[in-house]
Amino acid sequence: MIARYSREEISKLWTDETRFQLWLEIETLALEAMVAEGIAPQSALDSVRSKGAFDTERVLEIEREVKHDVIAFLTNVAEHVGEDARFLHFGMTSSDLLDTTFAVQLCRATDIILRETDALLLAVKELAFKHKNTLCIGRSHGIHAEPTTFGLKVATWYDELLRARRRVQEARGEIAVGAISGPVGTYAHLGPSVEKYVCDKLGLTPAPVSTQIILRDRHAALFTSFALLATSIERIAIEVRHLQRTEVREAEEFFSKGQKGSSAMPHKRNPVLSENVSGLARLVRSWAQTSMENVLLWHERDISHSSAERVIAPDATIALDFMLVRVRSIVSGLVVYPDNMQRNLDLTNGLVYSGTLLVALAAKGISREKAYSLVQGHALATWDELNTNTPVAERRNLETRIRADKEVTSLLSKEELDNAFSIDRHVAHVDHIFSQVFAE
């Protein structure tokens, strides 16, 4: 991932230096187990512990010659350790080292992602409770529907993010497995006890079976959970982008002092942070597809997955980490305009109560079709006046039209009409919804 969208903590997990350090740790742990099993002498372990080292540039230099990264690494370590290095990698295959290391890296990266998801959840929760009762219009198909509250809108973000977090947590468990099972996974040269020892020390579980590699459906589950989390994050970003539109302007990203919105138009304040998030989400979703392709390897293994994983694993985790931090800053700094929300709620002259009126009429015993027809006639007339050159002073809102309709007033009393055009029923169950969403 390019530096622009990278944070140092998670990026360090994917450096050559970190990878080689994990390789040396795993090779040393395997040697410890082999000494305990009587396969290697204690002197070899002592030598590796005291002299075991590597030089990243030297490893890369050797790799350019031998065209094999693990052999290059072992060659360089042997340059430091000497003769006892022959016990390193004894009975192992490259994938034992690569896949167990990959599991550690993915687990550590996922832990950062889970931590940042928790921080985002907290910010979303705070915003939801702050605007629990802030009235706004709900929209379907981009068109005004019925009243809701901004807090309820934000509560849906929390609910969705919580599910996304659970998926990532579950997928982390699936990839927290290691393998020291040798060529084609039969333990022909080292018994399962070595694998168990190494995995226990690394906080991993031995894979129940491996084919020389750890089966890639585990990794596909993780990258798919990342894609879903990225998509849930993007839903927040898209909502902010819509709410910041000039015609809506119910909320907007914080615009800092000295910030510039456009090189050509000095008045612009664009939702650039949210737009960045939308772009990165597209990438994270695409990498989930790649991870599924990686499941389909030939026989016990090929390495068609390797080149893809070298790209998607760092990029997906780094991008997702960046997205989480960025969206948290958007949520925490979001500027909300309740007055504009009320303005938009009133924009359609009471049309937002048409559904409530329909239910009230249907409850009086007339057919739903008849009730719908009565309400729609007045609703469309109200729309027409909003969309024509009818002077504002001459426009009649839906409530005025309905109260002048004798057929309607013969069915509904003044009190019943008052209730139909009241905001109260639309917010009556906000506390109930919040108690369900934020129960945990």
Structural domains in the chain, sorted by start: 3-13+16-87 (1.10.275.10), 100-191+205-255+268-338 (1.20.200.10), 351-420 (1.10.40.30)
pLDDT in tens, 111-122: 999 999 999 999
Active site residues: 141, 262
- pLDDT of 261 higher than 80: no
pLDDT in tens, 133-182: 999 999 999 999 999 999 999 999 999 999 999 999 999 999 999 999 99
Other C-beta atoms within 10 Å of 316: how many?
A: 29
Helices (H), 142-216: 150-175, 192-202
Are 56 and 154 spatial neighbours (Cβ–Cβ below 8 Å)?
Answer: no
Upper half-sphere CA count for residue 237 (Cβ side, 13 Å): 26
φ and ψ at residue 336, rounded to 5 degrees: -110, 140
Task: Report how far residue 241's alpha carbon sits from residue 145's, in angstroms, rounded to the nearest whole number.
Answer: 19
Q: Which pTM does this prediction carry?
A: 0.93
pLDDT in tens, 342-371: 999 999 999 999 999 999 999 998 999 999
